[in-house]
Amino acid sequence: MKVDFLIIGQGLAGSLFALHAIERGQRVLVIDRDEAETSSRVAAGLITPIAGGRFHLPASLPTRLAYASLWYERYESALEASFFHPTPIARLFQNEAEKQRWEDKIADPAEAAKLDGFWQPLPDTYKENPGIARQHGGFLMQKGGWMDLPAFLDATQRFLLARLSYAIAEFDSRELKVTSSGARWENVEAAQVIFAQGWQADCNRFFDWLPMNAAKGEILELSAPDLQPDDTILNSGGWAIPTRNGRWRVGSTYDHNFEDVSTTEAGRLAVLQKFHSMVDVDFAMISHRAAVRPIIRRSTPFIGRHPQHPQLALLNGFGSKGVINGPWFAKLLLAHLLDGAEIPMENDLAILL
Ligand SMILES: Cc1cc2nc3c(=O)[nH]c(=O)nc-3n(C[C@H](O)[C@H](O)[C@H](O)COP(=O)(O)OP(=O)(O)OC[C@H]3O[C@@H](n4cnc5c(N)ncnc54)[C@H](O)[C@@H]3O)c2cc1C
């Protein structure tokens, strides 16, 4: 079998790259070991344009976010699936200091201009609702939402299977032979191999030098039908996403020093504490899951060709921002490989050497 791209890993990164490549007429084969608990399958899938306690909105974010939103909308039709959920986010201040930081920020004309269109005042429902912690106020974040990543991955897998472009397989880098025209793995001859293995990217012999700094996260699904309004995400240190039928996805922990990938009692309690800091309602626990975020430097994606083997390339480092950044960087890596498009220095794999 001959392909233009052999893609290792069908998480968010591998899926996005495969779909972009197919759209440009490339032949692809995606292989994945079909694990139940991967970063993409466990992730909240949140899109939060204004991030963290400093309310940061990077200058390049509106472009990447607009591209991602349009791309996901288009692919909901192409894949005949529902996975992209634009949803307002009630950003509730955790304390008076945070509230003051926000007020200082929007009082600065340059910062206010950057944030324009990304927020509006919190509706009165939040002031009246006794369930939601509201003592410090907040604002309503716009252009955010969440992505049902398992639904996206499943739809992508069906699409690839129908084109005979997907196989369940465990990839072992010792079995990949670099050749003069590309690379060979089993009976597959590929012009180019894309490594999209998530946090275990450094477990293969070509990329064992990557400075992976992965972070484990634990997440809960709760049933809380009394929690209203249920058409808005809550965000205040932790977050709670209304998914369907009174269910909320709640999270999460963030731990660079983890021993294994299993769920823990400490993780469950930490997530519940975040939930209780935002709301006071009855709930029942539905599930508790854990996975590991692929992080190299914060949530900076790293892309590019392998320094010695140009027929091998990497798409990784999505961190906690894969949903916003993924489509843009999948498109950029493909344009780099096919057309020689330039990679910004801060995302270039070469700077990690
Ligand atoms: C608790 C939690 C919450 C999160 N919340 C958010 C959020 O709100 N918003 C956001 O944008 N991001 C969030 N993330 C991060 C997000 O999940 C990642 O940025 C993104 O999904 C990573 O995608 P990936 O394809 O790089 O990695 P993965 O999803 O890890 O995919 C890698 C794939 O490669 C496969 N693979 C690896 N090695 C091999 C091999 N040797 N052979 C075959 N297959 C292999 C794996 O099985 C997997 O399917 C969260 C993550 C966690 C854990």
- For residue range 63-107, what is the model confidence (pLDDT) as tens digits? 999 999 999 999 999 999 999 999 999 999 999 999 999 999 999
**Whole-number pLDDT of residue 124:** 82
- Are 324 and 315 in contact by the 8 Å Cβ rule? The answer is no
Name the pLDDT band for 189 (thresholds 50, 70, 90).
very high
What DSSP letter does each residue of 183-234 carry, written as one string? EEETTEEEEEEEE--GGGGGGSTTSTT-----EEEEEEEEE-TT-S-TTSEE
CA–CA distance, 128 with 137 (Å, rounded to integer)? 12
* Three-class DSSP category at 21: helix
Q: Is 320 helix (H, G, I), strand (E, B) or coil?
A: helix
| Structure-token match 């945070």, residue found | 98
Average pLDDT over residues 17-28: 98
At 37 the pLDDT is: 96
d(CA 217, CA 116): 32
pLDDT digits (tens, 9 = 90+) for 299-311: 999 999 999 999 9
Q: Are 117 and 143 in contact (CB under 8 A)?
A: yes
Amino acid of residue 155? A
Asked, colleague to colleague, whether 2-43+150-212+297-352 and 88-143+215-293 share their fold, the answer is no
For residue 203, pLDDT over 90 is answered with yes
What integer pLDDT is reported at residue 130 of this predicted model? 61
User: For residues 295-315, b (16+ Cβ closer than 10 Å) or e, as one string?
Assistant: bbeebebbbbbbeeeebbbbb
Is the pLDDT reported for residue 125 higher than 90? no
The answer, yes or no, to whether residue 253 has pLDDT greater than 90, is yes
What is the chain's mean pLDDT, rounded? Answer: 96
Domain ranges within the chain, ordered by starting residue: 2-43+150-212+297-352, 88-143+215-293
- In this prediction, residue 135 has a pLDDT band, given cuts at 50, 70 and 90, of confident
What is the topology classification, in CATH, of domain 2-43+150-212+297-352? Answer: FAD/NAD(P)-binding domain (3.50.50)
Judge whether residue 26 has pLDDT over 80: yes
pLDDT band at 126 (very low <50, low <70, confident <90, very high): confident
d(CA 315, CA 19): 14
**With a threshold of 0.75, does the pTM exceed it?**
yes
The arithmetic mean of pLDDT across residues 207-214, rounded, is: 96
Question: Is the peptide bond between 252 and the residue preceding it cis, with omega within 30 degrees of 0?
Answer: yes
φ and ψ at 157, to 5 degrees?
-60, -45
Predicted pLDDT of residue 245: 92
Q: Which of 39, 83, 254 to mutate to test the pocket of ligand 1 (most atoms within 8 A of CB)?
A: 39
Residue pLDDT, tens place only, 147-184 = 999 999 999 999 999 999 999 999 999 999 999 999 99
User: What integer pLDDT is reported at residue 305 of this predicted model?
Assistant: 98
Q: DSSP string spanning 289-337?
A: EEEEE--SBTTB-EEEE-SS-TTEEEEE--GGGHHHHHHHHHHHHHHHH
Q: What is the pLDDT of residue 6?
A: 98
Identify the weakest region by mean pLDDT among 123-132, 147-156, 190-199: 123-132
Ligand 1 atom closest to Cα of residue 318: 19
Measure the CA–CA gap between 15 and 293, rounded to whole angstroms. 16
| 3-class SS of residue 311 | coil
pLDDT over 70 percentage in the chain: 98
- Residue 129's SS3 state is coil
59 CB-side CA count, 13 A: 1
Q: Is 258 left (phi over 0), alpha (psi -120 to 50) or beta?
A: beta
DSSP 173: G
Reduced to 3 states (helix: H, G, I; strand: E, B; else coil), residue 93 is coil
294 CA distance to ligand 1 middle (Å): 6
pLDDT at position 133: 67
Helices 12-23 and 149-162: crossing angle in degrees, nearest 10, is 40
Among 42, 141, 197, 321, say which to mutate for ligand 1: greatest number of ligand atoms within 8 Å of CB. Answer: 197
CA-nearest of 61, 18, 53, 11 to 36 is 11
CB neighbours of residue 189 within 10 Å: 16
Pocket of ligand 1 (CB under 6 A): 9-14, 31-33, 35, 38-40, 42-46, 170-171, 196-200, 217, 219, 251-252, 291, 293-294, 316, 318-323
| Nearest ligand 1 atom, CA 216 | 53
| Mutation to probe ligand 1, out of 320, 329, 333 (largest number of atoms < 8 A from CB) | 320
Q: What is the Cα–Cα distance from 39 to 310, expressed in whole angstroms?
A: 27
When pLDDT is cut at 50, 70 and 90, the band that residue 185 belongs to is very high
Euclidean distance between CA atoms 280 and 267, whole angstroms:
20
Average pLDDT over residues 242-262: 96
Q: Residues 195, 323, 243, 268: is their CA dihedral positive or negative?
A: positive
CATH assignment, 88-143+215-293: 3.30.9.10
What distance lies between CA 231 and its chain's CA centroid? 21
Total Cβ atoms within 10 A of residue 71: 19
